[in-house]
Amino acid sequence: MIYLDNSATTRPFDSVVDCMADAMRERWFNASAAYAPALSVEKEIRACRRRLAAAAGAQESGVLFTSCGTEGDNLTIVGTAETLHAPMNFVVSAIEHPAVAETVKRVERLGHEVRVLPVDAQGRVDTVAARALIDEKTALISCMQVSNETGAIQPIGELSEIRRENAPQARLHVDGVQGFLRVPLNMQRLGVDFYAVSGHKIHGPKGIGALMVQPGRRLVPQMTGGGQEGGMRSGTYDAPAILALGEAVRRMTDEPPAERLRALKLRLWQQLKDADGVFANGPDPADAERSAPHILSLSFDGVRGEVLRNALEGEGILVSTGSACSSHKQKVSGALLSMGLARSRADGTIRVSLGCFNTEEEMDRAAEAILRQVQVLRRYQRR
């Protein structure tokens, strides 16, 4: 099997599995308890906070453990809306993951306005439009760090500067699920207020993530109870998952994968780009400033992406047609259409996303299989 859907989830590092298993066998104590074994676990959790904070340019005290990136996005958006005493506007990009796009609908029901930032043909936020949409009534700006569909790196620094000039009262939220530890981001340097990440996208376990919050930023908790996480996210600490997340972050920071992932992506693209009717969606895959190192969106004339995905699965190659969170809805990607792609091209798209276990040999085998299957499927194209 060649697994090329790492934006959906990643295989955990062996050391992550070992860490989690050891924690469940030996360090299963409730970290909120007062006796020595529990205090030892709580100390290890603090070390994980420090590791996450260092990786994102955050404050240790602002690292809140969550169940996933979706929870972090929800806590930020709804938690911000519930602090407001008058109608405001929330500005989100047109390509946001459902964790943001669906959540802002709740904001509208609370009486606030939602404004949508358009994107250009590369799938990057249009900063000229942003200057017109962000104003003194903006409460929150939400933009993903990296598009989960095209790998387009978003201009977070420019959005932060526009916020500073037009709406200094507004908060900036970044969904970092596809960018964390693959594309650099320093919260303090860029002026990011909230940064949501997920463990299972970085070879950690599922069911654990983090929301990093800059000091002084108010949120209304969405889970109440025993007051864990400074009262922001109550519930017994999932110590095995937290410690395993810390191990994944350690591995990814000790052995930064970006350069190797980009080399693999370009190796695959070089073997595909000269074939007839093959297109890369989003920024130039070789553009390290605008294109993430691990995501390649490909369109093929005369072939439906869903059909090609199934044909490749028959050869043991696993790719996707877009976000795994909406893959069962079987509809053309709104993110691709927002870039101005024709519906036929959007419908002919697959997403290849790479992880730390992929190899050069897999890129060669995948390229050969993709080109062969495209040729076969084009013979059955409707005329």
Active site residues: 325
DSSP string, 295-355: EEEEEETT--HHHHHHHHHHTTEE-BSS-GGGGGG----HHHHHTT--HHHHHTEEEEE--
Distance, in Å, from the CA atom of 283 to the CA atom of 123, rounded to the nearest integer, reads 7
Distance, in Å, from the CA atom of 321 to the CA atom of 333, rounded to the nearest integer, reads 9
CA trace torsion 122, 357, 257, 296 (10° rounding): -10
- Which residue is associated with the tokens 């864990």? 228
- Residue 172, SS3 per DSSP: strand
With both helix axes pointing from N to C terminus, report the angle between 14-26 and 239-254 in degrees, rounded to the nearest 10. 150
Asked whether the beta carbons of 74 and 224 are under 8 A apart, the reply is no
- Which residue is associated with the tokens 């927002």? 338
- Residue 207, SS3 per DSSP: coil
